[in-house]
Structure 1
Amino acid sequence: MRLTVLGCSGSVSGPDSPASGYLLTGPEMTPTVIDFGPGVLGALQRHLDPGEVDVFLTHLHADHCLDLPGLLVWRRFHPNPPSGQAIVRGPTDTSLRIGNASAEVGGESDDWSDVIDMHVWKEGEPIEFAPGHTVTARRMFHPPEAYGLRITTASGRVLVYTGDTALCPAVFELAQGADVLLSEASWTHDPANRPEGVHLSGAEAGMIAAKAGVGELLLTHIPPWTSREDVIAEAKEQFSGAVHAVSPGEVIDID
């Protein structure tokens, strides 16, 4: 299985990166995009036909989902539209929220069931999304209904994506023993200068990696106003393993 970074800018799209979006590909696997923030649809076209993908959504903040109305346009109006429906897995009110964003008239909601087969995450329930590959969603500590994802390949390798979260017991449990931890790191570590219960600092991402015993820490969701170098340095102070901040277009082989 391979992870391709489509976008990794935190909270908003940045001058050189779309917002959150990560492409999973592999043999016998329907290409799957984890999160679908602004700019992701365009970046996805560099790699494959967007009509071929399924989608995992961690939560419904705009920077993680608001290119989905564009995906609906692609699937409905492309001259050679894909057959069938794309599977979207996400929080409880995904169909309503994306339908509102895609509606022709204010106060109405677009019924996307013509092109989307929607499934709501079930806490802690492993779901096989390709032969031998499973994804398990765990609820994180973030203002809306938000999930982190633990993806286990057929060979037993584990990729964990925190989504957006602050420190909580569930994020340590989610990350336990992961081969690769893709962790948000939105702040430098100054608790007095950031809201409680919203995001992780670089130091906190490093602490999770160390306590969970992960193999490699990949930092993401760094906003344009946060120093990448400072966040990386913080994480390295807490975690002695490999630490790297991802960039758009980067490819990480999980298996």
Structure 2
Amino acid sequence: MKLTVVGCSGSFPSPDSPCSSYLVEADGYRLVLDLGNGALGALQNHIGLYDVDAVALSHLHADHCVDLCVYFVARNYRQEGCPEPLPVYGPEGTPGRLARAYDMPEQPGMSGVFEFHTLTPGTFALGPLTVTAIRVNHPVEAYAFRIEHGGRSLVYSGDTGECPELIELARDCDFFLCEAAFTDGKETVRSIHLNGREAGEHAAAAGARRLVLTHIPPWTDPQRNLRDAEAAFRGPVELAKAGATYEI
């Protein structure tokens, strides 16, 4: 698999990155995980605008899904005609959420442009990829994903606070893309986000082989979170950067 970080800023875009969006490619199949603020523009640096095969949304906060509204425009009003409906996997209520964000009637909403599928915990196939979704610890319905192909595994945490289920999902994974939005000792609100130390602890408990920290907001010191994660996890740790690519 090839992973491209399209955007990795948490909560709102930074000067250097759009919000959350990650491109996973295998055997010519292209899956986009989340499409937050500004991500559609950056995605076009890596693939063609109409080359996406499916989108999976971890949850319905704007910094993870709102660019589907502009992707609707790009597909619906394409000069050559709208492409076939694009499969979009998201939490319950995804079609209505996007329709309201675009200020359009919920029926039919965007259903002629996107083919909506409601996520539930479990495993399903997307092209050559095997995807396992679990619920994680966030104020809204939110999912983490484990994506497997050719004996290799990538786990994306989405947004979550401390979550034993995430540790199990990430068990022995090759690549753990884990959010670290909070700073240890600064934010004390539970069940929203992890900090760098907690991300490192989750990776260590899971036996992950590699940890990449993501979803760090512009007001959080990424180097502090990196140091905190390195203190908790003995494997390789780095910060996600927009445009970075990884072979998994």
- Whether the TM-score (by the shorter chain) exceeds 0.5 is yes
Maintained 8 Å contact 1:87/1:116: yes
CA distance in 2, matches of 1:69, 1:134: 27
- Shift of residue 76, structure 1, vs aligned partner: 0.8
Counterpart residue type for residue 128 of structure 1:
A
CA distance in 2, matches of 1:244, 1:167: 20
1:137 is the counterpart of 2:133: yes
Q: Deviations over 1:198-219 (max 9, x none)?
A: 0000000000111110000000
How high is the TM-score relative to the length of structure 1?
0.93
Which secondary structure does the structure 2 equivalent of 1:51 belong to?
Answer: coil
Aligned mate of 1:150, from 142, 146, 150: 146
Q: Deviations over 1:87-131 (max 9, x none)?
A: 000100100000111234xxx3361111111111121x2111013
Maintained 8 Å contact 1:51/1:82: no
- Shift of residue 82, structure 1, vs aligned partner: 5.0
Q: How does 1:165-180 map to 2 (within 5 A)?
A: 165-180=160-175
Which secondary structure does the structure 1 equivalent of 2:130 belong to?
Answer: strand
Maintained 8 Å contact 1:203/1:231: yes
- Please say which of residues 204-213 and 43-52 is displaced more in the overlay: 43-52
1:161 is the counterpart of 2:159: no
CA distance in 2, matches of 1:49, 1:77: 16
Aligned mate of 1:114, from 112, 115, 120: 112
- Please say which of residues 33-42 and 168-177 is displaced more in the overlay: 168-177
Aligned mate of 1:193, from 177, 187, 196: 187
| Structure 2 gap ranges (5+) | none
Maintained 8 Å contact 1:86/1:115: yes
Which residue in 1 is equivalent to 2:72?
72
Which residue in 1 is equivalent to 2:42?
43
- Shift of residue 33, structure 1, vs aligned partner: 0.9
Identity of aligned residues (%): 43
Which secondary structure does the structure 2 equivalent of 1:188 belong to?
Answer: coil
Which residue in 1 is equivalent to 2:33?
34
Maintained 8 Å contact 1:52/1:82: no
CA distance in 2, matches of 1:91, 1:206: 27
Counterpart residue type for residue 174 of structure 1:
L
Counterpart residue type for residue 116 of structure 1:
F
| Structure 1 gap ranges (5+) | none
- Shift of residue 12, structure 1, vs aligned partner: 1.0
CA distance in 1, matches of 2:42, 2:191: 30
Which residue in 2 is equivalent to 1:23?
23
- Displacement over 6 Å in runs of 4+: none
How high is the TM-score relative to the length of structure 2?
0.96
Which secondary structure does the structure 1 equivalent of 2:100 belong to?
Answer: helix
Aligned-residue RMSD, C-alpha: 1.2
Which residue in 1 is equivalent to 2:234?
240
CA distance in 2, matches of 1:101, 1:142: 21
